[in-house]
Structure 1
Amino acid sequence: MKKVFRVLLAVSAILLCLNVAGCSKNAGKDSAQAGSTSKKIKLGVSAFPGWFVYYIAEGEKLFTKNGVEVELVWFPVYSDSIQAFNSGNLDMLCIALPDAVAPYLKGTEFKAVAINDFSNGADGLAAKSQYKTIQDLRGKKVATEYGTIEHFFLLKALETVGMKESDINLINISVGDCAPALIANAVDAACMWEPALSIALSSPENTLLYSSAQTPGLIQDLTIATDKLIRENPEIVTGVINAFLDAGDFYKINPDQCIEYMRIPAEVDAEQMKGVMSGGKIYGLKDMLSGLDGQQEGFLYAVDTAYENALFLKEVDLLDDVPQDRNYFRTMFDWSFLEAIAKTRTPTSGPDTSLK
């Protein structure tokens, strides 16, 4: 996804002056471009389609154009990024919505400030080719990582055919180990995300039984920021979001160059990277704003999805209690940044990353 192109960066600054702090709440796009902030922040990134887009922003210097200095910290092991954020070593983090629920309910101080994508095939249940349906997995060894979004996804896949976890032999291994285990015939099936899913399916002995393309919005991916950063440097949060949106716009015009930027941290070739990106529905500002709309059906309303994930975490004993009012999860999101940005740029949808 890459090749050189100058991105249109938009107009007009919004500075909301505060009596106490003097200025700047959710600054608009051009104000960020006018001059860099003095604070350099660290943004934790792992392997998922919507998060790779930040490497386009880095490659095209879109953080700088939006007046922010950002160090992208790559985490090959996704769970390490969550630990780093919870330990105070990151200012912002790319995190799956399900994985944000438990830390938030347990008191970690952050807010979700953007939705980067939802999985549109980047998560899947793969099995040995002799198994043609999910029902065929009854009593079979099915691998995934307990308590993760893949575990949640697996349970939802089983539900579609009236099955439960007790109907299979769940093998608890890391998502990264799922593809090798399936290829080595150590398990009959595995639930995993990209790029592990593509690696597993590269073997003709394996087949895809179910994918996240069949459950739009079930697995949403966020960017979160510490309450401290939001409170003390809201203009940085605005700049990071605008850089992501600019990267999405650049993707629409120069996808080959973007693939090049993104395949480097992914450690795959260009064709494989195109396959990885096809598994996500990348969000633009229009998509992000619609994700806040309570009229959205299914899992596309982020607040409802957070509540459903909380119920799952309680079911697997990773949460002691869940607020009865699902609207409680509105407090996990700070959409004031998106609302302010929408006053400075026209909301559009994200790039189409499907395979043509």
Structure 2
Amino acid sequence: MDITFMKKIFILVSIFISLSLGLLAYLFFNADSNTKVIYKDKIIIGYAPWPGYAGLFIADSKEYFKEAGLDIELKAYPGFEELSKDYVAGSIQGRANITLEAINEAYGGLEHRIVAAIDYSNGSDGIIASRNIKAIKDIKGKRVAFEHGTLEEFFLRYALDQNQLGLNDIIPINLNPEESAEAISSGIADVAVTYEPFMSKALAQIGGNKIYSSADAPGLVTDVLTFRLDFINEHSDAIQAIVGAYFKGIKLFKDSPQEANIILAKYLGVSVDQVPAQLNGVTILSLDDNKNAFTFAVGLQSLYGNMRQIGEFIKDIHSKDSKDFSFDTDLMIEPLFIRKVLK
């Protein structure tokens, strides 16, 4: 056989091996960079501690957001007031929200949209009281801790109204949900409007009573995922990736509850065995549930029906304001991203 030909074969094989090894080394040392980057900067999603945010917590812990090409930071806030302030100011792009808060923020001038329905509270929001207070009617003249201008005030107003009482019948103390629970434990307040995980801790400490909860008003408290409209318009592909990763987290929550509880315990700051009790008062919504939530209907389980009813409540509260309350709550709902995930 021709020696020159053999040399050529040897050189070609050597080149092929070198290129193959080089490619393998590149893939090994740059594995992370091969993930498609949807949005190169950090996206911050704010939240106040709540067991219903399981999908967000799991997607973060299991790095589903990272796999989708996103750098997501879940930023915890002690209460809604500070969270809403940062969101409205543009310090964060999105937040785990409540339909009531979302409408209030829009009333204040923020343009934002609901991109997913997270959960319905079914007992995890509540009004708790010391041992001698057995019912809502008993809180007249009592010290009541709640966060002004937020869901807690709306929830308290609703419960009082159902019992022919009003805010002028109580002694209000302005504290966030965690502080409200601590206030009743320390004796600063007689009654607290709060939610899980703070509610169970306080009740265990004082041996008190849950005198009203979201189970008494099913569908009233709905959690949603919202993003600022300016961010949605500029980075709709990032929003789509977030929604997809979120429902991947929901799937693990449904399929592997034990693993999910371990993750939730870390984010909620409780023991693993405490997680199931907190989740008892929450209905976490699946992708199919979202299909219904983003469908036009008059009931509270449709976002359209829910937002319209709460919008009327807020309109009534602000009836004496000089500012016009005329925006359409239907326009705050963006079903595009859910529809694409459902395909």
Which TM bucket (shorter chain)? 0.7 to 0.9
CA separation of 1:295/1:97 partners in 2, compared to 1, >3 Å: closer, same or farther? Answer: closer
Residue in 2 that maps onto 1:35: 36
Give the superposition deviation at 1:316. Answer: 4.9
Residue in 1 that maps onto 2:87: 85
Kept in 1: contact 2:298–2:306 (CA 8 A): no
Q: Which runs of 5+ in 1 are unaligned?
A: 1-32, 344-356
Structure 1 residue 340 and structure 2 residue 337: aligned?
Answer: no
1:258 match: secondary structure: helix
Give the superposition deviation at 1:160. Answer: 2.5
Q: Distance in 1 between matches of 2:312 and 2:295?
A: 21
Q: Distance in 2 between matches of 1:81 and 1:147?
A: 13
Q: Distance in 1 between matches of 2:281 and 2:177?
A: 17
Kept in 1: contact 2:64–2:245 (CA 8 A): yes
What amino acid maps onto 2:303 in structure 1? A
CA separation of 1:321/1:199 partners in 2, compared to 1, >3 Å: closer, same or farther? Answer: farther
Instruction: Spell out, residue by residue over 1:252-282, the C-alpha distance to the aligned partner (whole angstroms, 9 max, x if none).
Output: 2221221222222322111223333222211
Kept in 2: contact 1:212–1:218 (CA 8 A): yes
Q: Which runs of 5+ in 2 are unaligned?
A: 1-33
User: Identity of aligned pairs, percent?
Assistant: 25
Kept in 2: contact 1:53–1:262 (CA 8 A): no
CA separation of 1:309/1:77 partners in 2, compared to 1, >3 Å: closer, same or farther? Answer: same
Kept in 2: contact 1:175–1:192 (CA 8 A): yes
Residue in 1 that maps onto 2:176: 174
Q: Distance in 2 between matches of 1:306 and 1:321?
A: 20
Residue in 2 that maps onto 1:215: 217
> Which one of 252, 255, 259 corresponds to residue 253 of structure 1?
255
> Which segment is superposed worse, 112-121 or 308-317?
308-317
Residue in 2 that maps onto 1:133: 135
Give the superposition deviation at 1:291. Answer: 1.9
Q: Distance in 2 between matches of 1:324 and 1:104?
A: 11
Q: Distance in 2 between matches of 1:83 and 1:161?
A: 32
Residue in 2 that maps onto 1:283: 285
What amino acid maps onto 1:338 in structure 2? I
Correspondence list, 1:12-51, <5 A: 35-40=36-41, 41-51=43-53
Q: Distance in 2 between matches of 1:118 and 1:322?
A: 30
Higher helix residue share: 2
Structure 1 residue 153 and structure 2 residue 155: aligned?
Answer: yes
Instruction: Spell out, residue by residue over 1:294-338, the C-alpha distance to the aligned partner (whole angstroms, 9 max, x if none).
Output: 3352x323234334434444555596546458xx10111111111
Kept in 2: contact 1:42–1:72 (CA 8 A): yes
Q: Distance in 2 between matches of 1:80 and 1:268?
A: 23
Give the superposition deviation at 1:188. Answer: 2.1
Kept in 2: contact 1:314–1:322 (CA 8 A): no
Give the superposition deviation at 1:102. Answer: 2.2
Could you tell me the TM-score, scaled by structure 2's length? 0.81
Kept in 2: contact 1:145–1:174 (CA 8 A): yes
Number of aligned residues: 308
Q: Distance in 2 between matches of 1:93 and 1:287?
A: 20
Could you tell me the TM-score, scaled by structure 1's length? 0.79
Kept in 1: contact 2:315–2:325 (CA 8 A): no
Q: Distance in 2 between matches of 1:204 and 1:183?
A: 6
Q: Distance in 2 between matches of 1:314 and 1:211?
A: 24
2:109 match: secondary structure: coil
Kept in 1: contact 2:46–2:75 (CA 8 A): yes
CA separation of 1:35/1:194 partners in 2, compared to 1, >3 Å: closer, same or farther? Answer: same
